Structure 1
Amino acid sequence: MKHIKICILLLVSVNLFAQEINIKKSLSGFDNYMSQILADWNEPGAGVAIIHKGELVFVKGYGYRDYGNKLPVTKNTLFQIASNTKLFTAVAAGMLVEDGIFKWDEPFKESVPEIEFFNDFLNNNVTLRDMLGHKTGISRHDYIWFQSDFTRKELFERIKYLEPSIPLRQDFIYNNLMYSAVGYAIELRTGKTWEEYISENILSPLEMENTIFSIAEMQKSKDYGVPYDEKRDTTLLYKIPLKEDGAGIGPAGSIITSLDDLSHWVIALMNEGKYKNKEIIPNAIIKETLKPGIAFRNSELEDKGYDERLNSTYGMARNIEIYKGNVLTKHGGAMPGFHSQVIILPYNDIGIITFSIGNQGASLGNTIIGYNLVDRLLGLEQTDWNGRKLADHIKSKELSKNARSQHGFDHIEGTTPSHKLEDYTGSFTNEAYGEFIISHEKDSLYFNFRRVSLPLSHYHYNRFDTPDDEDFGKWSINFNISPQGEINEAVVSIDEGQVSFHKKPDESLADPNVLKQYEGKYNFAGSEFEIKLIDGKLTALGTTNDILIPYKKQIFKVEKFDDMQVEFIMKNNIVSGLKYKTPSGVFECKKVQ
């Protein structure tokens, strides 16, 4: 029994303590492997960095950072690392925890009273750890920020409109907006923007001198990645626009860096927060990011019989799993044309950074290259990650092509729109998602949403569809009619559900000075009631305090009853009374004060 215990201890020690790695031997044949997978996936380029025992021991580019001009990937090529930004935000928030400004596990609203969630339950319970661990139960709602010009403050203020999809802490729902909110909270409490705080407290101390936050800054460099994609259903590569989703969402994904610069960050994460013998990140913060929050099922084992990756959990901006008996932490990042992965094996003292260019080869940067390197560096049998993922990719492309060929399955022939095309035009708004515009040009309607502008064709009844655009996708707009027979709403499937956009009323009714003139007391058959401007909304005070919704000049709808209206009567540019219009009649009231 004693000998068995000793053997077990020896086996455990092999896994727990870093061993010397012969990089040259471990990477024998790796260059050929990279050439093969770039060819298999039709990928323009990729980059790899390996950190071991506090040092960058290998860094190399493969293929092209600019495929069109045949410019090579280098250790200094700038890449958008997208969601690998999130750990920077989690660490920055942790620094404020260390300062006593934030707390991991108490209601975030106690530290940041300015934040408003959908209801009081969330206000009283959502913690910083919930927000950074994707445990709020609030769906992604990515189209709130995607390609928008919303500021970080505006995104922060939209959180109150997001109803949870599932109860708090019940399951994992990835949410970029929570990271944006934490970034703005850092600004609220420190007086420094997220970018300033990150630069001052992380980037500068880590000597990440070439790490930046915007496409404009990136394009000033002579060495940056150019995104490419495949034309759908072909292998033709084409250059796609650099995508930047504005500073608003920055804390969730705006960092742009190189293999060399990012290695400094990984060195610190692997070395208890120290870089060049100086503590940059308190080790307590790093440990907190690795605490398991939400566990995932072993889907690869259950669905396909693959047992390499087991018992995956999510901490804060970090996945933790057991890979072939070794503790592995990781996180991926994806932007159009760019993919990245940061892997750390803390008990083996190994860090791996992978970048790749090309949407079709997302699996290269997110899985294939990184796990192949883990196998090589640990001397393990190499799993054919490339073969597995490539087979899935080919099958997915074929299934997607087949699915698109079956569009229009619910089309009803012989129908016509209920209104003239001009009646569908106007601005349609939603409190969370903002505004889109339906315009009428050359006998056709156009859908204009942020950077998307696509023609609409009549599908059936009051539904209009855009083409299935390769870059912007397919949009289907279903228009609804008010009790007054007017187009008053457009329903669009966005993100996780249907979103209603209401036709924007006359612009003048957003002016508080215009609304103010309608305030006062009104009389009907000897009974008085008052209309008052409360929180920017006209309100008829009474038992229920009915809110009046702007509709047309001098006309408002009653919020609770779409078939009821209030029209104010003007005499000599002064309000003299109102008409309360209902299905049963029109009731006139005089203004008495």
Structure 2
Amino acid sequence: MKLALLCTLLIGSHCLMAQSKTRQADPVVAYDTYVQQAVRDWHVPGLTVTVVKDGTVLLKKGYGVRELNQAEPVNTQTLFAMASTTKAMTAACLGMLVDEGKLHWDDPVLNYLPDFQLYDPAVTRELRVRDLLTHNTGVGNADLLWTIMQIPSDEILHRMRLVKPVYSLRSGFIYQNIMYLAAGKVVEKVSGQPWETFIRQRIFEPLGMTRTKALFREVTDPNRAWPHVAVNDTVRVVKNKREEGAVDAVGPAGSVWSCSDDLALWMQCMLDSGRYRSGQAEARQLLKPATWAELFKPQVIVTDAQFYPSKVLTKPTWKTYALGWFQHDYRGHRVNFHTGSLTGMVAMHAQLPDQKLAVYIQGNLDHAELRHALMYRAFDQFALGISRDWNADLYKLYSDIQLRRKAAERRVDSLRVRNTKPSLPLTAYAGQYTDPLYGKVSVSVQDGKLVFSANDVMTGRLDHWHYDTFRLTYSNFWEGTDAVGFVLDARGSVARLSWAGTELLKTPEPTSKGVAER
């Protein structure tokens, strides 16, 4: 009996050791464990990770919770914002119309949007459909048109004629969301359907992406993630419908919401030359192979300033942008990828195409850059046989960036001139300030303090900083602070307000009838 018991124990021990080795050797188990640790390290409330290789889904899993301090877990059906990873879908929509012979990549945009104008008439005339997707039109960031205003999409495009260029056409690269709105309008003009209808009927439905929504206003399912922002090292939930819904105004640039189950279908299609399967039917083509390949052809060089901080670790030889995809080299392989960022939400879709490998990360914490760590770890784990702790390296990189940012803020604070007063009584700063591009700012006096409102969308209080500069503390905690300066004219009256990189002119006070007659 003792011998039998000993044999049993030895066999059991051997089996446990074998199981342990199997778990250690299983790359999916190892990667899953790695993700769990990264979620803890970065304090991300909720996350999904989807990994696809060689037509097979290796991993689809939710981590954490949809909302901090609530019990509902994230699962593979939980909806997250795709944000700017939507751009690859918008490019694919245009590609379908190219396949149908209804447009060409290098057609003038004026052929389809005759009223669309940029500041420079020559650029307006030369702008091609392809240019709408490559961030090299010469127009800088103009996101204030949709983040601080509530104006229709057509009005956003109309105001682009007022945005001064910061470089000449196709001579640089500055990330530009509103050109993707114009691309969506081209889809609408050519197809006769709004972009949100076209993408639903031509991508979501054929691929079986039954839970995916084109616009935020369509997200009514309770199984959705809530955005979170870390302020002073404390993670807090953001519940603001206007903030989340603002992106609908530039939908083709980043308004789609989806889940891990649906995204696996999109990932497989984009890996497999645009092919997909519907039920038991034979594979079909979402795009012709040549058009699918065109989406991934490098179109423009991306500068260091416009690329990601991770470059200091990966040291890419080249960095390019295709049609809705960033690209760079990694250990001799090409990477196609795109991040997505909205207030409190992050996403990343990445491919190692020669290895038929793709990974998609969704998270509900503002700029949670573990997405880069999980991307490179997936490449190493499932394709390249490398073991590097990207989580540790990128956590240190971004922590150092944050420390430098805080140091820069302290330097700005140190420049404050103490014991100064505004040049004028607070009532002199009150009034309406306008700009033809960015609308209206109202300043009023309430309870002895200046109160700020931009287009009745962004509000906050103005506290005196020094001289005629005030510090704006926004009403929404996640929006932080800004400097607001008032400029006086030669007569000593307030003439302009400087805020967010633009200057707004003060509207003259109404003149009484008697004065006007004189």
**TM-score w.r.t. structure 2 length?**
0.85
Q: Which residue of 1 aligns with 2:224?
A: 224
Give the structure 1 partner of residue 69 of structure 2.
Answer: 68
Is the 8 Å Cα contact of residues 461 and 474 (structure 2) preserved in structure 1? no
Q: What secondary structure sits across from 2:32 in the alignment?
A: helix
- Equivalent residue number for residue 240 of structure 1: 238
Compared CA separation, residues 262 and 485, structure 1 to 2 (3 A): same
Question: Which runs of 5 or more structure 1 residues have no equivalent in the other structure?
Answer: 1-21, 507-550, 556-566, 570-578, 580-593
Contact 1:149 1:246 (C-alpha < 8 Å) held by counterparts: no
Q: Counterpart in 2 of 1:521?
A: none
Distance in 1, matches of 2:190 and 2:453, equals 37
Q: CA deviation at 1:359?
A: 2.2
Question: C-alpha offsets along residues 141-177 of structure 1, whole Å, 9 cap, x if unaligned?
Answer: 2222115312111111111011111121122100011
Residue number among 289, 294, 303 corresponding to 2:300 in the alignment? 294
**How far apart, in 2, do the equivalents of 1:24 and 1:64 lie?**
29
Change (3 A) 1:339 1:189: same
Alpha-carbon spacing, 1:431–1:297, altered in 2? closer, same or farther (3 Å): closer
What residue in structure 1 maps to residue 145 of structure 2? Answer: 144
Note the aligned Cα RMSD (angstroms): 2.9
Structure 2 counterpart of 1:426, from 428, 431, 434 = 431
In the TM superposition, residue 62 of structure 1 has moved relative to its aligned partner by 1.8
The alpha-carbon distance between structure 1 residues 50 and 422, as it changes in their structure 2 partners (threshold 3 A), is same
Separation in structure 1 between the aligned mates of residue 61 and residue 25 of structure 2, nearest angstrom: 13
Contact 1:273/1:282 (<8 A) preserved: yes
- Per-residue CA distance 1:518-574 (angstroms, 9 max, x = gap): xxxxxxxxxxxxxxxxxxxxxxxxxxxxxxxxx86899xxxxxxxxxxx986xxxxx
The answer (yes or no) to whether the contact 1:298–1:310 under 8 Å persists in 2 is no
Separation in structure 1 between the aligned mates of residue 206 and residue 483 of structure 2, nearest angstrom: 49
Aligned twin of 1:500: 503
Which has the larger displacement, 335-344 or 209-218? 209-218
Match of 1:79 in 2: 80
Pairing 1:393–2:398 present? yes
| Secondary structure of 2:335 counterpart | strand
Q: Is the 8 A contact 1:298 1:311 kept in 2?
A: no
1:428 & 1:195 partners in 2: Cα distance?
Answer: 35
Q: CA deviation at 1:301?
A: 13
Query: Aligned equivalents of 1:330 and 1:480: distance in 2?
Result: 44
The offset of 1:383, in angstroms, is: 2.3
Q: 1:309 to 1:457 in 2, by over 3 A?
A: same
Say if 2:318 is the partner of 1:317.
Answer: no
Question: Partner residue of 1:113?
Answer: 114
Compared with structure 1, are the counterparts of its residues 429 and 302 closer, same or farther at alpha carbon in structure 2 (3 Å cutoff)? closer
Match of 1:417 in 2: 422
Q: Does 1:438 align with 2:443?
A: yes
Once residues 408 and 350 of structure 1 are traced to their aligned partners in structure 2, the CA distance between those partners, rounded to angstroms, is 47
Give distance in 2, aligned partners of 1:159 and 1:23.
55
CA contact (8 A) 1:375 1:382 kept: yes
1:43: Cα distance to partner?
1.6
Query: Which SS does the other structure have where 1:476 is aligned?
Result: strand
Do the aligned partners of residues 396 and 162 (structure 1) sit closer, same or farther apart at CA in structure 2, a change above 3 Å counting? same
The change in CA–CA distance for 1:441 and 1:241 in structure 2 (over 3 A counts) is: same
TM-score, normalised by the number of residues in structure 1: 0.75
Residue aligning to 2:186: 185
Aligned-partner Cα distance in 1 for 2:211–2:101: 31
Cα distance in 2 for residues equivalent to 1:554 and 1:100: 63
What letter corresponds to residue 279 of structure 1 in structure 2?
Answer: Q
Query: CA contact under 8 A between 1:152 and 1:184: conserved in structure 2?
Result: no
Match of 1:452 in 2: 458
Query: 1:153-552 alignment to 2 at 5 Å?
Result: 153-218=154-219, 220-232=220-232, 234=233, 236-242=234-240, 243-276=244-277, 277-296=283-302, 306-307=313-314, 309-359=316-366, 362-365=368-371, 367-413=372-418, 415-449=420-454, 450-467=456-473, 470-482=477-489, 486-492=493-499, 494=500, 498-504=501-507
Q: Deviations over 1:19-50 (max 9, x none)?
A: xxx99832242232122111211122221112
1:564 corresponds in structure 2 to none
SS across alignment from 2:369: helix
Distance 1:422 1:490 in 2: 14
Q: Distance in 2 between matches of 1:308 and 1:402?
A: 26
More strand by share: 1
Tell me the distance in 2 between the aligned counterparts of 1:343 and 1:111: 32
Q: Which amino acid aligns with 1:198?
A: I
Query: For 1:90-129, what aligned pairs fall within 5 Å after superposition?
Result: 90-129=91-130
Q: Contact 1:225/1:357 (CA < 8 Å) preserved in 2?
A: yes
Q: Write the deviation string for residues 392-425 of structure 1: whole angstroms up to 9, x where unpaired.
A: 2322333333333344434345544343322322
Distance 1:304 1:129, change over 3 A: closer
Q: Distance in 2 between matches of 1:166 and 1:552?
A: 42
Q: Which amino acid aligns with 1:393?
A: Y
Q: Per-residue displacement from partner, 1:259-290 (whole Å, max 9, x unpaired)?
A: 11112212221222221112222333322221
Structure with larger RCO (C-alpha < 8 A, sep 6+): 2
2:280 matched to which residue of 1? none
Partner of 1:88: 89
Give the distance between the partners of 2:304 and 2:486, measured in 1 at CA.
43
- Preserved contact between residue 80 and residue 256 of structure 1 (Cα < 8 Å): yes
Pair 1:187–1:503, CA change in 2 (3 A)? farther
1:556-567 paired onto structure 2 within 5 Å: none
Opposite residue 402 of structure 1, the aligned amino acid is A
* 1:327 to 1:458, Cα distance in 2 relative to 1, 3 A: closer
Shift of the 266–31 alpha-carbon distance from structure 1 to 2, 3 Å rule, reads closer
- Could you say what secondary structure the match of 1:268 adopts? helix
Structure 1 residues 554 and 374: alpha-carbon distance in aligned structure 2, compared to 1, 3 A threshold: farther
Give yes or no for contact 1:23–1:377 (8 Å, CA) kept in 2. no
Pick closer, same or farther for the CA change 1:435–1:61 going to 2, 3 Å: same
AA in 1 matched with 2:471: D
Equivalent position SS for 2:414: coil
- With 124-133 and 438-447 compared, the bigger mean Cα shift is at 124-133
Counterpart of 1:285 in 2: which secondary structure? helix
Larger radius of gyration: 1
- 1:414/1:228 CA distance change after superposition, 3 Å: closer
SS at match of 1:340: strand
Shift of the alpha carbon at 1:297?
5.9
Q: Aligned in 2, Cα 1:318/1:302: closer, same or farther, shift over 3 Å?
A: closer
For residues 340-399 of structure 1, give each alpha carbon's deviation from its aligned partner in whole angstroms, at most 9, with x where no partner exists.
Answer: 111122222222111122226x2112x111111111111421222111111123223333
Give 1:455 shift.
1.3
**2 CA distance for matches of 1:173 and 1:193?**
27
Identity over aligned residues, as a percent?
A: 25
Q: Deviations over 1:100-123 (max 9, x none)?
A: 443322432233211101011211
Q: Which has the higher helix share?
A: 2
**2-side partners of 1:106 and 1:430: how far apart?**
33
Distance in 2 separating the partners of 1:403 and 1:314: 31
> How many angstroms does 1:443 deviate by?
1.2
- SS at structure 2 position matched to 1:394: helix
Distance 2:384 2:132 in 1: 38
Alpha-carbon distance in 2 for matches of 1:177, 1:221:
28
405-414 or 120-129: bigger deviation:
405-414
Q: Which amino acid aligns with 2:46?
A: G
